[in-house]
């Protein structure tokens, strides 16, 4: 939905956005096969992709330099700081800070699984929805996914608030399904002011 609607994305920022879409799609087989490590890897990558997308949206030269020298890239902390200070988002400072905080916390937890995997996380046949998995494990994974994507979708919506009129009512409903009540109120107020 996002990829189809955003027309103002510079060509040098598109690869990061499309990589986000690809990593998000990869969550489905990771959930089906119960591979927790892959599930956490793709969520972690999604966070990085969106933050890079924001950063490179306005950094064409830095994008070109990174392609020539892949060892020269902004750190995770620099990417988070960049979106927190983004000029058009300053008026949403509290929400941006809260959601960046959510992403930082989730990123650390997801990184622990990716880099410090336990034997339980390595199992390829442990289906997250099967009866032999404790319900607390399933609930923990669901909560993590919702927290990550709620924050990412809110940041994307605020970043592209001028594109809102292009969304149909059905598309807005799809986006709203994931957001918290306070996020919905914020976005609904902004949408009404942009139409």
Q: Report CA 73 to chain centroid distance, whole Å.
A: 19
pLDDT at position 45:
95
The lowest-confidence range among 46-50, 86-90, 115-119 is 115-119
Average confidence score pLDDT of the chain: 83
The values of phi and psi at residue 179, to 5°, are: -75, 155
Query: Which of 128, 114, 93 minimizes the C-alpha distance to 47?
Result: 114
Give the whole-angstrom CA distance, residue 44 versus residue 18: 15
- Is the pLDDT at 154 greater than 50? The verdict is yes
Residue extents of the structural domains in the chain: 2-194
Per-residue pLDDT, 195: 43
At CB < 8 A and 24+ separation, what contacts does 127-130 make? 127/32, 127/33, 127/34, 128/31, 128/34, 128/36, 128/39, 129/31, 129/34, 130/34
pTM attached to this predicted model? 0.84
Q: Is 81 exposed, middle or buried (0-12, 13-18, 19+ CB in 10 A)?
A: middle
| Residue 186 tokens, joined | 């914020």
List the structure tokens of 101.
């905080």
Is the pLDDT higher at 189 or at 10? 10
pLDDT given for residue 182 in this prediction: 87
pLDDT of 86:
93
| pLDDT at position 125 over 70 | no
Q: Which residue has the tokens 């995997």?
A: 117
Rounded mean pLDDT of 10-18? 88
Instruction: Give the tens place of pLDDT for each residue, 166-181.
Output: 788 888 888 888 888 8
Residue 124's pLDDT is 46
């Amino acid at each position: 939905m996002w990829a189809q609607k955003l027309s103002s994305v510079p060509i040098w920022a598109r690869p990061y956005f499309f990589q986000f879409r690809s990593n998000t799609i990869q969550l489905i087989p990771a959930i089906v096969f119960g591979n927790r490590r892959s599930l956490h890897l793709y969520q972690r990558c999604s966070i990085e992709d969106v933050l890079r997308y924001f950063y490179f949206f306005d950094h064409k030269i830095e994008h070109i330099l990174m392609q020539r020298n892949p060892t020269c890239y902004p750190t995770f902390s620099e990417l988070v700081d960049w979106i927190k200070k983004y000029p058009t988002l300053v008026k949403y400072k509290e929400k941006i800070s809260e959601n960046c905080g959510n992403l930082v916390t989730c990123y650390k937890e997801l990184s622990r699984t990716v880099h410090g995997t336990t034997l339980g996380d390595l199992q390829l046949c442990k289906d997250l929805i099967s009866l032999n998995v404790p319900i607390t494990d399933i609930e923990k994974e669901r909560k993590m996914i919702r927290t990550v994507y709620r924050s990412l979708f809110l940041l994307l919506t605020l970043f592209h608030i001028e594109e809102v009129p292009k969304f149909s009512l059905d598309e807005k409903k799809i986006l709203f399904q994931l957001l918290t009540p306070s996020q919905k109120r914020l976005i609904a107020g902004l949408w009404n002011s942009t139409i």
